[in-house]
Amino acid sequence: MDGVKRKLDAFPAGVGEKLKFYVYRLIDPRNGETFYIGKGKGNRLFQHVTAQSATDVAIEVGDDDDAEVVREDSESLKVARINDIRRAHLDVIHIVHRHGIETATTAYEVEAALIDAYAGLSNISSGHYSNDRGPMHAQEIVDKYALPEVVFRDDKLVMININSAEHNSEKELLDRTRYAWRISEHRARQADYVLAVIHGIVRGVFVPTKWMRATPENFPPPRFSETSPSRLGFEGEIAPKDVWDHYVGARGKRLPDEMRNRSQNPIRYYNC
């Protein structure tokens, strides 16, 4: 039996400690596609080998109040893919992409860079700092550091990080911003305005008139997809001109450094 190759489901004693922090990729053997990127220590990578549900994989919770529920989404998608592979009588390919990393902060940076580089991942969220330091056009870099800074006042705000709108029209920005988020319903309903933020720049400001569950009845396809009753969206309208001018101006205004969202959660609150 010595010639039989055993499935590796844990690092041998002492190996995990030598790896320190590491960043890994999970690959679907059916098509060679990387479908998840993560970071960890010890046997974190191998938790996926035996996972049957999202709760079987330890969730790393960040320092923001909605981080756990964001992580639960990505874990569910990841484990669903793993179960599909298992039903095909195959094994997930695990690749340690970089190891020997001394600090969690550096590991987050490597993880984020890889998440930005691979399309179609089951990671629901971008990597740490991706919204703030992820891939940008050169003009976006200039905007990030040269546009005037937003001055906050007494308004109650929800700030939502979104991907760049294809045409950046006000209507398209509204549609991308209003649907569909893991968000505190209590806090969202207090908000006077919702700010659309792209790479730390406020590009739009909207008045939410009605928050609703993200169901097909409230947000019918094909205009909206991937409906989920656990998420919320809103009906709304473009903010009055004086409000738009204050938060957006002619080309957008940059958030102060202390207000930038560097976590994986795309939602931030102000005064609510």
Per-residue pLDDT reduced to its tens digit, 93-118? 888 989 999 999 899 888 888 887 87
* Interval 45-57 mean pLDDT: 65
Full-model pTM: 0.57
pLDDT of residue 74: 52
- In 41-120, the DSSP E strands lie at 93-101
Res. 52 pLDDT band, cuts 50 70 90: low
- The confidence score (pLDDT) of residue 82 equals 85
- DSSP state letter for 149: B
Q: How far apart are CA 68 and CA 43, in angstroms?
A: 21
Chain mean pLDDT for the chain: 79
- Mean pLDDT over 61-87 rounds to 59
The number of residues in the chain equals 272
Residue 224 has pLDDT above 90, yes or no: no
Q: How does residue 149 score in pLDDT terms, banded at 50, 70 and 90?
A: very high
Confidence of residue 152 (pLDDT cuts 50, 70, 90): very high
Is the pLDDT at 244 greater than 90? The verdict is yes
Write down the pLDDT at residue 124: 46
Q: How confident is the model at residue 13 (pLDDT cuts 50, 70, 90)?
A: confident
Residue 79 has pLDDT above 50, yes or no: yes
Q: Distance between CA 72 and CA 70 in Å, rounded?
A: 5
Q: E strands, 104-255, where?
A: 157-161, 193-198, 201-214, 228-238, 253-254
pLDDT band at 169 (very low <50, low <70, confident <90, very high): confident
Would you say residue 249 has pLDDT above 90?
yes
In single-letter form, the type of residue at position 157 comes to L
Highest mean predicted confidence (pLDDT) among 160-164, 214-218, 245-249: 245-249
Q: What pLDDT does residue 263 have?
A: 61
Alpha carbon separation from 250 to 63, 174, 177, 203, 245 (Å, rounded): 34, 17, 19, 9, 7
Q: How many whole angstroms separate alpha carbon 53 and alpha carbon 36?
A: 16
In the chain, % of residues over pLDDT 90: 30
Closest CA to 160 of 4, 267, 253, 257: 267
Take residue 9 and report the two structure tokens written for it. 């489901």
Give the per-residue pLDDT at 63: 40
Least confident of 90-94, 229-233, 261-265: 261-265
Residue 199 has what pLDDT? 80
Following DSSP, what letter does each residue of 30-63 receive, concatenated?
A: TTTEEEEEEEESTTGGGHHHH-SSGGGS-----S
Least confident of 47-51, 109-113, 205-209: 47-51
Nearest Cα residue to 36 out of 123, 129, 130, 110: 123
The larger pLDDT score, comparing residue 151 to residue 116, is at 151
In the block, residue with structure tokens 């079987």: 56
What is the pLDDT at residue 123? 52
CA-to-CA dists, residue 261 to 45, 130, 161, 239, 252, angstroms = 27, 9, 8, 22, 17
Query: How many angstroms separate the CA atoms of 62 and 69, rounded?
Result: 11
Q: Could you report how far apart the first and last alpha carbons of the chain are, in Å?
A: 64
Per-residue pLDDT, 193: 98
pLDDT at residue 68, rounded to an integer: 37
